[in-house]
Structure 1
Amino acid sequence: MMNRRTLLALVGSGLLLAACASTPNATVRQPIVFVHGNGDSASIWQTTVWRFEANGWPRDRLHAIDLPYPLARDDDAKAQPGRTSTGEHMAFLKTEVEKVMKATGAGQVVLVANSRGGYAVRNYIQNGGGDKTVSHAVLGGVPNHGVWAVKGFREANEFAGTGPFLTALNAPKNATGDEVSGPVKWLTLRSDNNDKFAQPDGLWIGAKGTPTNVTFDGPALKGAQNVVLPRVDHRETAFSAGAFDATWRFITGQAPQTTAISEQAQPVLNGKVTGLGLSSTDPASGTYSNNLPLPGAYLEVYATDPATGERRGAAVHRKTVGADGVWGPFMAQAGVPYEFVISAPGYAITHIYRSPFPRSSELIHLRAERLAASDKDSKSVVTLTRPRGYFDAGRDRMAFDGKALPGVPPTGAGVSSSKIKQMEDAVRPISAEFNGEKITGRTWPAADNHLVVLELTY
């Protein structure tokens, strides 16, 4: 019988997974490549990967890409610092697919995408050779017919339904008018009416009362299997349990054993520390999102009291990250919440509070933040964020510091973060609740260049 040390070594090296996958009764699973959306990172697929693992999909065949500059250009044909064109996006995906195929020896992959990531998937399959390397494509909340489709309005942008990029992608592929390229099998997942980027009114693009000429079924494609998920928001079309269930059924032809995330006794966590680019094209915003490592950043991890957010003793992990930005590995304890503290020149000391981690993951990416000029008069600044979905006051059970979430409208799912600016000097616990998940952190003084993030997992 293997002792515990040998078992951990085998898990760490991947040999145990390989042994399990090679047993006579094991089903050989294709590699899956997950493609995030505009401004997002590989970390957004964390819970989806966990659900695949919980159903027996080998971890070494689940690969989430990190586009270095994840934001789309304003004009797809014009270079813009810190942003990618549709061509650059597709080329990056193509390279990642080739890496995965080489590493696994697989002849084809499955592509699963959210939002803008679906544009790269469609472009790669139609124009980059992906028709030969991809067996299945799953598009969650992809605005396939645009976020707007108004003649003469920002048509150089890739999100314009009447622009050259989407017009070419949606051109009929055969006599029946299919919008998707064969022989790939296609699935689209969309909300019934709660996706902020598939709305007939321009509210969420700053044009309330103006028709977008896009309908709720804008993400659907002729020739694909099109599935509607009731009341999900834009991100939940890809990251919810319902989206996982539909994706698993489409890929395998069977129902998953579970949509729950099974727990491990000692999760091993890892990821990279990233920062923010300085924008020269938009001085008002000051920064832009990127997925580049932040070398030299110093990370500390503390176990915290779930009721008060106070630290339980000294740091349980410390590291100054190198050129790759990797901050782990760190062996966590089941059921224990953690505080991650990032210190880096030019950034605020960023305190990120997270719920207990049920499973191991290499997708725990951590971003250093900066205090906004408008927040520097506050005693403490605390942001609640939900990376894998939005806040819907009419649908969700939620509270932030015991009250309604500031900045979240009474209807619709269009906001994924909420900020509290505390004007009292007292350092105290601060909690947030969302549909059963609860996080408690501590306020930290903004005057000393601290800011606080409560990050939801689900």
Structure 2
Amino acid sequence: MTDTGIRRPLYAVALAAALALTACSSDADDDGGSSGGSAAEPTEAAVEGTDPLPPLPDDVALPIVFVHGFAGSAQQIESNAMRFVANGYPEDRIVAYDHDGAGLDIEAYAAGLTEVVDETLAEFDAEQVYLIGHSRGTGVANLYLEDPAQAAKVAKYVAIDGRPCPEPQVVPCTAPVQAQFPGQTHVEVATSKESFAAQYEFLVGEEPEVVDIVPQRAPVEISGRAVNFPANTGREATLDIWAIDSGTGARTGDEPHATVELGPDGEFGPVELENGAHYEYALSSDASPVVHHLYLQPYVRSSDFVRLLSSAPDGTIGLHVHDDVATPGETTLAKLPYFGEQPFQSGIDVFLPASPDADGTVTARNLPRGDAGRPQTLNVPNWPSSGHTVSLVFADRAVDGA
């Protein structure tokens, strides 16, 4: 078993470690906590969890529209959306605007935001929304608010660690920044429970009762999109979701838990998962022989904001871990060229011998920011890079049992 020693996500929403050369050829040992069973069929067994608080009234829980930042996606609202829902916020009233995470056309993104806000108002027969922007998303939101007619559609605005509130303030506004949350990084300010509490109190008018993400009692359902990251265009592909052994990453059944044909928008769901179980998300298409395997940490609460960050078959994203051609067959942990020059990315030289049958295991451990005493682990098969790409995606929070 090979430990990649990944310490923390460079991109706080998710760490996508694209392994150009994957894994070890040795058999996995047993100290990874093998489940020994399949999660393909969710059971009716009782889950020790919580129910959401009673629903908030519609005049309090106005629709929320979230605008992500540079090299971001709608997934940046995922953790806080779970917290909002746990406090009684209707799940369908939280909306995220996916736009080009690498582009620079702020005016075009503001125009896109206009469409999203208008569609949201029409869907819920509402007169106003709450607007939340993060990083570059605050620039998009501020430009949107320059139009008085558009500002009238916003009841309150949260500008997270980016542009300050517009002056003069055209709508009630708060601007959480890193200085308010010592030790938290730029993206963490958008996703932490401390930031959530401040946002919730500003929008709803009272402190939240729930800030921790704990398992829910109801069945877990996920929905989302497979996207070409960072453009956030839809990935048209076949999505196979496989139940896997948490200790080895190996598939536990002969058939996928679910198979979805993704259209041009890349949308999928809802798909019911076993609460806290591990899954592999495999994207394939007739256009390429390369299969993209994504391994996410277990879901203990439902989410509408799952983003399977993919790319063209020859593309890579996130923290790139592979063998450097300058030192073949050797792990130096030296930084790889190119990747460190890209936003929110880096790369390190790690030799991970693959197996044609992917019968070995790679172990990746992440020490979460702010909670390094709870290391998070993902185990995956050692797929050969000749026909496979692998992404390991850590949540922006510590997940119990991971």
Report the TM-score, using the length of structure 1 for normalisation: 0.63
1:343 positional shift: 1.0
Distance 1:306 1:250, change over 3 A: same
Say whether 1:90 aligns with 2:110.
Answer: yes
Instruction: Find the aligned partners of 2:332 and 2:122 in 1 and give their Cα distance.
Output: 50
Distance 1:52 1:266, change over 3 A: same
Deviations 1:278-329 (A, max 9, x none): xxxxxxxxxxx3122223x111111111121111113111122123322332
Say whether 1:310 aligns with 2:247.
Answer: no
2:296 to 340, 345, 354: 354
Say whether 1:439 aligns with 2:378.
Answer: yes
* Number of residue equivalences: 317
Instruction: Find the aligned partners of 1:332 and 1:405 in 2 and give their Cα distance.
Output: 36
Instruction: Find the aligned partners of 2:264 and 2:311 in 1 and give their Cα distance.
Output: 19
Alignment partner, residue 246 of structure 1: 198
Deviations 1:219-251 (A, max 9, x none): xxxxxxxxx111111111211111101111211
1:54 to 86, 98, 104: 86
Deviations 1:93-134 (A, max 9, x none): 111111111111222111111111111111111236332111
8 Å CA contact retained: 1:266, 1:331: yes
Alignment partner, residue 274 of structure 1: 227
Alignment partner, residue 191 of structure 1: 178
Distance 1:103 1:425, change over 3 A: closer
Say whether 1:32 aligns with 2:61.
Answer: no
8 Å CA contact retained: 1:381, 1:452: no
Alignment partner, residue 284 of structure 1: none
1:182 positional shift: 3.0
Distance 1:290 1:107, change over 3 A: same
1:424 positional shift: 2.3
Secondary structure, in 3 states, of the residue corresponding to 1:290?
Answer: coil
Distance 1:326 1:141, change over 3 A: same
Secondary structure, in 3 states, of the residue corresponding to 1:180?
Answer: coil
Alignment partner, residue 80 of structure 1: none
1:104 to 124, 146, 170: 124
Say whether 1:339 aligns with 2:280.
Answer: yes
Say whether 1:131 aligns with 2:151.
Answer: yes
Secondary structure, in 3 states, of the residue corresponding to 2:190?
Answer: helix
Alignment partner, residue 150 of structure 1: none
8 Å CA contact retained: 2:234, 2:265: yes
Alignment partner, residue 363 of structure 1: 305
Deviations 1:230-274 (A, max 9, x none): 111111121111110111121123211021123224211121222
Deviations 1:129-176 (A, max 9, x none): 3321112111112155xxxxxxxxxxxxxxxxxxxxxxxxxxxxxxxx
Instruction: Find the aligned partners of 1:373 and 1:88 in 2 and give their Cα distance.
Output: 26
2:186 to 234, 238, 244: 234
Kindly provide the amino acid, as one letter, of the partner of residue 220 in structure 2. P
Say whether 1:298 aligns with 2:238.
Answer: yes
Instruction: Find the aligned partners of 1:45 and 1:347 in 2 and give their Cα distance.
Output: 33
8 Å CA contact retained: 1:306, 1:337: yes
Secondary structure, in 3 states, of the residue corresponding to 1:48?
Answer: helix
Quick one: percent identity of the two aligned structures?
25
Distance 1:361 1:374, change over 3 A: closer
Instruction: Find the aligned partners of 1:99 and 1:323 in 2 and give their Cα distance.
Output: 20
Secondary structure, in 3 states, of the residue corresponding to 2:215?
Answer: coil
Instruction: Find the aligned partners of 2:62 and 2:306 in 1 and give their Cα distance.
Output: 24
Secondary structure, in 3 states, of the residue corresponding to 2:189?
Answer: helix
Secondary structure, in 3 states, of the residue corresponding to 1:94?
Answer: helix
1:71 to 95, 99, 102: 102
Instruction: Find the aligned partners of 2:333 and 2:209 in 1 and give their Cα distance.
Output: 36
Pairing 1:366-405 to 2, within 5 Å after superposition: 366-370=308-312, 381=322
Indicate the larger mover: 85-94 or 260-269. Answer: 260-269
8 Å CA contact retained: 2:56, 2:89: no
Say whether 1:450 aligns with 2:388.
Answer: yes
1:372 positional shift: 5.5
Instruction: Flag the structure with larger Rg.
Output: 1
Distance 1:134 1:233, change over 3 A: same
Distance 1:27 1:258, change over 3 A: farther
1:50 positional shift: 0.5
8 Å CA contact retained: 1:349, 1:451: yes
Unaligned runs of 5+ residues in structure 2 are 1-51, 324-330, 337-342, 369-373, 397-402
Report the TM-score, using the length of structure 2 for normalisation: 0.71
Alignment partner, residue 339 of structure 2: none
Secondary structure, in 3 states, of the residue corresponding to 2:175?
Answer: strand
Deviations 1:63-109 (A, max 9, x none): 11112x23233xxxxxxxxxxx2211111111111111111122211
Instruction: Find the aligned partners of 1:439 and 1:189 in 2 and give their Cα distance.
Output: 32
Unaligned runs of 5+ residues in structure 1 are 1-16, 74-84, 145-177, 193-227, 277-288, 383-402, 409-413
